Amino acid sequence: MIITAYQTLEDRDNIDVIEMDGPFKCTRPDAWLGHGYYFWDTEMEWAIGWGVTSFNKKGMEFVIARCNLDLTNCFDLFGNVQHQNSLIDCIKVFKVSEHGRRLQEPTIPNLIEFLKRKGLFPYNSIRSYDNPKPVRLFYSSKKENFLFLNQRVQVCVINRISVLLRPFKVIYPEKYLY
């Protein structure tokens, strides 16, 4: 599967560097899918929202770069129920492992980084949603059953050479379009 993806970055007035050397890897301790290159899947408005929250509110400006990603070898926690079940099984095994017993509760980044270090994570990317405020549509009159739409989806690219399809082009804000 090929998707259009967006990366939100601080505007340092270095568009040429961004387009030549980007995307840029996130190694922050709170990287929720582990270390990697984070993108918003398909919806540029999510990238803009992240820029407003992460940069504008701190007095900084941001840019958004767009590219395509090849998710052929993706651990898809959004669209693949088998992958979701595999993650649940991994969490159960991790909890009883020596490494897992030292933690209060295993987190997704701890688990994924552990699997990568052990050579047990053969995927080039991870796709998941974080569900901040999806649209909820009820499909029964009792309002017990509903469908979530427009769930915010991110992709964490682990191996950018295998996943990133060039060009990586800054497209926002409009002043950088030329």
Task: Give the model confidence (pLDDT) of 10-59 as tens digits.
Answer: 999 999 999 999 999 999 888 999 999 999 999 999 999 999 999 999 99
Topology at the third CATH level for domain 2-176 = Phosphoenolpyruvate Carboxykinase; domain 3 (3.90.228)
Q: Determine the pLDDT at residue 135.
A: 62
- Domain boundary assignment for the chain: 2-176
Separation of alpha carbons 178 and 171, rounded Å: 9
The 3-class SS string of the chain reads CEEEEEEEEECCCCHHHHHHHCCCCECCCCCECECEEEEEECCHHHHHHHHHHHCHHHCCCEEEEEEEEECCCEEECCCCHHHHHHHHHHHHHHHHCHHHHCCCCCCHHHHHHHHHHCCCCCCCEEEEECCCCCEEEECCCCCCCEEEECCCEEEEECCHHHHEEEEEEEEECHHHCC
pTM (predicted TM-score): 0.87
In whole angstroms, what separates CA 42 from the centre of its chain?
A: 11
Task: Give the model confidence (pLDDT) of 69-108 as tens digits.
Answer: 999 999 999 999 999 999 988 888 877 876 666 766 678 8
